[in-house]
Amino acid sequence: MSEPLVLGIETSCDETGVGIVRGSTLLADAIASSVEEHARFGGVVPEVASRAHLEAMRPTVGRALETAGVGLDDIDAIAVTAGPGLAGALLVGVAAAKAYALALDRPLYGVNHLSAHVAVDLLENGPLEEPCVALLVSGGHSSVLLVPQVGGEEVTELGATVDDAAGEAYDKVARLLGLPFPGGPPIDRLAREGDPAAIAFPRGLSGPHDPPFAFSFSGLKTAVARWVEGRRRAGEDVPVADVAASFQEAVVDVLTAKAVRAARERGVGHLLLGGGVAANSRLRALAAQRCAEAGLRLRVPRPGLCTDNGAMVAALGAQLVRHGASPSSLDIPADSALSIEDVLV
């Protein structure tokens, strides 16, 4: 029997993503983004995002089917992000997925967005030695996870941010530097022209008595704001590239140090990166360097699969089908605060 053909729907934030995979082969990854509609507000406006998902849903499903060269009838299962994320935005995807599941009489899998960020790696890098440690860094989360089986139903969080997520810190710092939203990509670009050692920004929760796998980025953001204000008050130019590079170095230094330490302490051979911030060029480079030094294998999908997309949801759905997980009920809620440890709803 051929592997299941799974349609995945993602609407937790501002991207309407529809992916189609067969087993762990990516067939289509269609995306419609409302990011430009939010740009002038400096952050995602939930109502605007929900409306955009509603309008983009059917055309995006259509594009994904066309790219994959399959019809709706060929789909064996529907997977959808059930949480965490923006309540109204999630609701659009969950309602659409239920409608497809009901109309086609196919099983529905309501999955965790964060586990989907981890599972997407299989599409690109193939089967992986398990358990593995995953560093998940997005606009809403920053966590170190112990994953017994990618696409299995269990995940253990070894540590997480106690305040801002890494992506949130990028977005806030970009804003105070006058860069566009979302802030990760422009800081990533600008940092290449700056000196990462120009300003010694703090490394949060990195003392010997701090929790080993917890993060804190809010103090860093404040330190950057104070430094920039000091310069402006003195009537001096702000060396934006140096600030970007030094801020970024503080973020990726802590992220990679803690993730590598977790993998070593847990005796696993692989470190996996996922989430929007995993698209960051410096994070990828420093993780590669530190993994090589620690004898670990680094797995990270291409940048386009790190940021939100539908393929990741389909990838996780396909693994759940493969491992014989029970489908979700058709009355599952969209759970904006879904725990990172709940893979399937």
Neighbouring C-beta atoms of residue 105, cutoff 10 Å: 6
Provide the minimum distance between the beta carbon of 268 and Zn ion in the complex, in angstroms, as a whole number: 23
Residue 138 per-residue DSSP state:
-
CA atoms within 13 A on the CB side of 98: 14
From 13, 241, 259, 340, residue interacting with ligand KG4 (rule: CB under 6 A): 13
**Judged by CB, which is closer to ligand KG4: 20, or 251?**
251
Provide the minimum distance between the beta carbon of 277 and ligand KG4 in the complex, in angstroms, as a whole number: 4
256 binds ligand KG4 (CB under 6 A): no
Query: What's the per-residue H, E or C state across 199-258?
Result: CCCCCCCCCCCCCCCCECCHHHHHHHHHHHHHHHHCCCCCCHHHHHHHHHHHHHHHHHHH
Residues in the chain: 345
**Judged by CB, which is closer to ligand KG4: 97, or 313?**
313
Provide the minimum distance between the beta carbon of 316 and Zn ion in the complex, in angstroms, as a whole number: 12
Which among 308, 328, 22, 335 has a CA at the least distance from the CA of 153? 328
Nearest residue by C-beta to Zn ion?
138
186 binds ligand KG4 (CB under 6 A): no
- Contact in structure between 177 and 157 (CB atoms under 8 Å): no
196 binds ligand KG4 (CB under 6 A): no
> Looking only at residues 139 through 158 of this chain, which bind ligand KG4 when binding is defined by CB under 6 A?
139-140
Q: Tokens in use for 107?
A: 């099983």
60 binds Zn ion (CB under 5 A): no
Written as one letter, the residue type at 286 is L
Q: Which stretch binds ligand KG4 (CB under 6 A): 24-32, 177-185, 226-234, 321-329?
A: 177-185
Please tell me the count of residues contacting ligand KG4 according to CB under 6 A: 19
Q: Which stretch binds ligand KG4 (CB under 6 A): 67-75, 194-202, 220-228, 270-278?
A: 270-278
Angle at 324 between CA 79 and CA 106, to 5 degrees: 40
Report the first-to-last Cα separation within the chain, whole angstroms: 27
Provide the minimum distance between the beta carbon of 308 and Zn ion in the complex, in angstroms, as a whole number: 4
Q: Tokens in use for 137?
A: 């860094």
25/19 Cα distance (integer angstroms): 11
> Looking only at residues 277 through 316 of this chain, which bind ligand KG4 when binding is defined by CB under 6 A?
277, 279-280, 307-308
244/187 Cα distance (integer angstroms): 6
Q: Which stretch binds Zn ion (CB under 5 A): 16-24, 256-264, 284-292, 303-311?
A: 303-311
- Contact in structure between 341 and 155 (CB atoms under 8 Å): yes
**Judged by CB, which is closer to Zn ion: 14, or 249?**
14
Please tell me the count of residues contacting Zn ion according to CB under 5 A: 2
Taking the CA atoms of 199, 204, 209 and 211 in sequence, report the sign of the dihedral they define: negative
**Judged by CB, which is closer to ligand KG4: 151, or 167?**
167
> Looking only at residues 127 through 166 of this chain, which bind Zn ion when binding is defined by CB under 5 A?
138
From 167, 196, 301, 317, residue interacting with ligand KG4 (rule: CB under 6 A): 167
170 binds ligand KG4 (CB under 6 A): yes
Q: Which residues bind ligand KG4 (CB under 6 A)?
A: 13, 138-140, 167, 170-171, 182-185, 188, 275-277, 279-280, 307-308
Q: Which residues bind Zn ion (CB under 5 A)?
A: 138, 308
